[in-house]
Amino acid sequence: MALNDNPVWFITGCSTGFGRELAQLVLRRGWRAVVTARDAARVEDLTAGHEDRALALGLDVTSDEQIKAAVAQTEKQFGAIDVLVNNAGYGYQSSIEEGVDEEIRAQFETNVFGLAAMTRAVLPGMRARRRGHIVNISSQAGFIGFEGSGFYAATKHAVEALSDALSREVAPLGIRVTCVEPGPFRTDWAGRSLKQRRPAIADYQSTVGARLETTASYSGKQPGDPVRAAEAIVKAVEAEKPPKHLVLGSVALDGIRNKLNETLAEIEAWNEISRSADYPESER
């Protein structure tokens, strides 16, 4: 590992899914880990038998006080945070027109502002040590705006942009940033971490309604293996030149590749119009 031989991983959202699998893998590797969830009791089983190098903490990433306390406790016990994995988050599906303001804002508070606050709290220590790796869990939705997932996609687009900008800012300081874009994985995300508002407007039944039905019925049948996903994330962090973007799963790989190709083709098709918006060369 480029960081050190016994790194400290701080992982948010470890009660289920990617966070839990990643925490288990890190501890099996013999590394140190801080595993968090809103309710610490939900992750205490992860640290059982590893008390000398593992810490279970209650953490709501929308609480600045809890974030500061968790970072301070980690640095006091282990001396540093080498890898931050911003995994806490959840999905919200509705048509854009029928989205509820309170629910939309709550999702942004967790998926975007909580992630940003967690990152800001860890950066001072990483800067002082001139090393560290921040892993932000995004989604294929960060590239592809699926019908019915507009607000969720917007939070993940924000994570993508934040990660790209952060990477440019901290690369000269020895800190690396990887944004992870998973497709559908066989976790309980749809059962526990997804809120749906089925469309009441008939015009959206064939688009948003169909998408929400597919999402709900797909749970437990997804092709992605969360254990292999955790292994892929560790490989990326261990790499001498880690990726800024790590796409996970064939569904996401094919979908994101198609999206990028379509976008590039459209940009090229409008190339002349795009350039025509500049002042003429003679006036520059």
Q: Is the distance from CB of 253 to CB of 247 less than 8 angstroms?
A: yes
Do 15 and 40 contact (CB within 8 A), yes or no? no
Please choose, from the candidates 5, 62, 73, the residue with its C-alpha nearest in 3D space to the C-alpha of residue 38: 62
| 106 contacts: CB under 8 Å, gap ≥ 6 | none
Length of the chain: 284
> Are 156 and 111 in contact, with CB atoms under 8 Å apart?
yes
What is the C-alpha separation between 280 and 284, in angstroms, rounded? Answer: 7
Tokens representing 147 are: 């019908």
Catalytic residue among 149, 156, 163, 204: 156
Of the candidates 94, 139, 152, 163, the residue annotated as catalytic is 152
SS3 161: helix
Active site residue 138: yes
Six-digit token pair at 98? 């029928």
Taking the C-alpha atoms of residue 216 and residue 220, their distance in angstroms, rounded to an integer, is 10
Catalytic one of 138, 139, 149, 163: 138
Residue 156 among the catalytic residues: yes
- Decide if 206 is catalytic: no
Sign of CA dihedral 163, 168, 169, 174: positive
* Rg value, the chain, Cα: 20
Residues with a known catalytic role: 138, 152, 156
